[in-house]
Amino acid sequence: MTIAIEARDVTFSFGTTPALRGANLAVEAGEVLAIMGPSGSGKSTLLHCLAGILVPDSGEILIDGVRIDTMTEARRSSMRRDRFGFVFQFGQLVPELTAAENVALPLLLSGVRRSEALGKAYAWFERLGLAGMEDRRSGELSGGQAQRVALARGLVAGPDVLFADEPTGALDSLTGEQVMDLMVDAAGEQGTTVVLVTHEPRVAAYAGREVIVRDGRVNAPDRIPS
């Protein structure tokens, strides 16, 4: 058993409002973990701390046993670029870019040559049922198509960890199920660890394990299956 990500007694407040109150969590390498909880429970804040987007007020965040909460913003930014992928609720595609350029963006930011980056990006389109849509802008895509493009962007660089924050929240049930099927299958093929935030049980059912965040604490048993 290899722990990929760990939070130890993490606290975080927005001004005077506590969001995390001593959260503890461990995620095994290659695991698909769902973090559930009602709105305002702190689940998205926990994900952002795990991903190095937010720095905890106290406690520790470790990736492969190395603390990232004490790193400089430059080092955390580099780690997010090189080792993590992200999928958010509304996709957050860059509207000025084509779908293929959006997918290639993480590779381009890492210094991959444009021709090589676009070649890798194009390979995802048929796989995700988007063949022929490579040159469309985000405004020319349906919500489900745009979210599949966002999923490809999150996975194109073969990240160690994919962080997904309500990735089906803006989609209908059928399209959401299609996106989750693609996410779990693609991540499994690449050996990518997935940390998924959702409030929907049908989405959490795609994970191998679920934990519940309430009032800024992880209340479900934090046990990694053997």
**CA dist 154 → 41, 62, 164 (Å):** 25, 21, 9
Task: Pick the most confident of 2-6, 8-12, 169-173, 196-200.
Answer: 8-12
Q: Examine the pLDDT at 224 and tell me if it is beyond 60.
A: no
Under CATH, which number does the domain 3-218 receive?
3.40.50.300
Nearest to 118 by CA among 78, 160, 156, 79: 156
List alpha helices for the chain, DSSP H.
43-50, 73-83, 99-109, 114-127, 143-155, 173-190, 201-204
pLDDT tens-digit series, residues 158-214: 999 999 998 888 788 888 888 898 889 888 888 999 999 998 899 999 999 999 999
C-alpha 175/C-alpha 191 separation (Å) is 24
- For the chain, what are the domain ranges? 3-218
